[in-house]
Amino acid sequence: MGMLKSSLAFLVLAFAFFLCFIMSTGSYVYFQFVQQWPPTTCRLSSKPSNQHRPLQRFTIHGLWPSNYSNPRKPSNCNGSPHMRSKLKISWPDVESGNDTRFWEGEWNKHGTCSEERLNQMQYFERSHDIWMSYNITKILKNASIIPSATQKWTYSDIVSPIKTATGRTPLLRCKQDKKTQLLHLHEVVFCFEYNALKQIDCNRTAGCGNQQAISFQ
Ligand SMILES: *[C@@H]1O[C@H](CO)[C@@H](O)[C@H](O)[C@H]1NC(C)=O
Ligand SMILES: *[C@@H]1O[C@H](CO)[C@@H](O)[C@H](O)[C@H]1NC(C)=O
Ligand SMILES: *[C@@H]1O[C@H](CO)[C@@H](O)[C@H](O)[C@H]1NC(C)=O
Ligand SMILES: *[C@@H]1O[C@H](CO)[C@@H](O)[C@H](O)[C@H]1NC(C)=O
Ligand SMILES: *[C@@H]1O[C@H](CO)[C@@H](O)[C@H](O)[C@H]1NC(C)=O
């Protein structure tokens, strides 16, 4: 009985510390590291197609400080722009070809929200390192998931090999083609804890709809 009481007290204390921690860590709780499949971005882009770069490899969309109650926020905090040459490979602007502007936008909108943890240099370096650590294009290829105009996959077909390779559950994001109704695989999200060092499971919030056939092309 005493045991039970003290472990209960411990839990209450731990929870209180957890709350304090969350409240003291500013405006985000975890990171979403978002990688996009450029052909889908370009196919469903509203930007002029003469600048499109439908590269056949997953590239970085962004590293987003996130919050469970409001997964797309915070954003639009203030900060200064910065650029690095290796990002030309991992983080190109596949929609309008101006890489600098894309990085500037991602930094201003998302990076500045975690500036107390990662300064601008660290933010971009960390993003590039995460991109380098797991090659999604390769993981999918190894699981025979290769771009196809005809074949369809389920959500778990695509998630499983990534989960096996990384040991963590990713989140998939899709885009629907309004004309054909086809659901296209668009982005793969990895989640990281507050420091952007340890990968954690993403919990499925939006994603790609339930039980729908997903196209990867
Ligand atoms: C999550 O976001 C909401 C709305 O943006 C904000 O009010 C809240 O303080 C945030 N919570 C945490 C734990 O950061
Ligand atoms: C790209 O964007 C940057 C930053 O917004 C801007 O200064 C530059 O002029 C743009 N380059 C081109 C070629 O449009
Ligand atoms: C990722 O894998 C693809 C497919 O195997 C390969 O073409 C590409 O070079 C790899 N990228 C990196 C950065 O290793
Ligand atoms: C490649 O696929 C094999 C069998 O399908 C699997 O055992 C292995 O872990 C995969 N390797 C990578 C790097 O995903
Ligand atoms: C996602 O997981 C976190 C951590 O386990 C939890 O606090 C949060 O309530 C979950 N959010 C949703 C929408 O399930």
The reply to whether omega before 74 is within 30° of 0 (cis) is: yes
| Ligand 2 atom having least distance to the Cα of 98 | 1
The pLDDT value recorded for residue 37 is 98
| Side-chain half-sphere CA neighbours of 74 within 13 A | 14
Comparing 16 with 90, the larger pLDDT belongs to 90
Does the Cβ of 141 fall within 6 Å of ligand 4?
no
CATH class of 27-215: alpha beta
22 falls in which pLDDT band (50, 70, 90)?
very low
Burial class (CB in 10 A: 0-12, 13-18, 19+), 16: exposed
> Which ligand does the CA of 68 lie closest to?
5
Name the residue with the closest Cα to ligand 2, atom 5.
101
| pLDDT for the residue 3 | 53
Q: With bands split at pLDDT 50, 70 and 90, how would you rate the model's confidence at 5?
A: low
Q: What totals of helices (H) and strands (E) does the chain contain, helices first? A: 7, 7
Relative to the alpha carbon of 207, which ligand is closest?
5
Whose Cα sits closest to atom 13 in ligand 4? Answer: 139
What is the value of pTM for the model shown?
0.78
Single-letter amino acid, residue 142: N
Please tell me the distance between residue 146's alpha carbon and the centre of ligand 4 in angstroms.
14
Lookup result for tokens 């929200």: 113
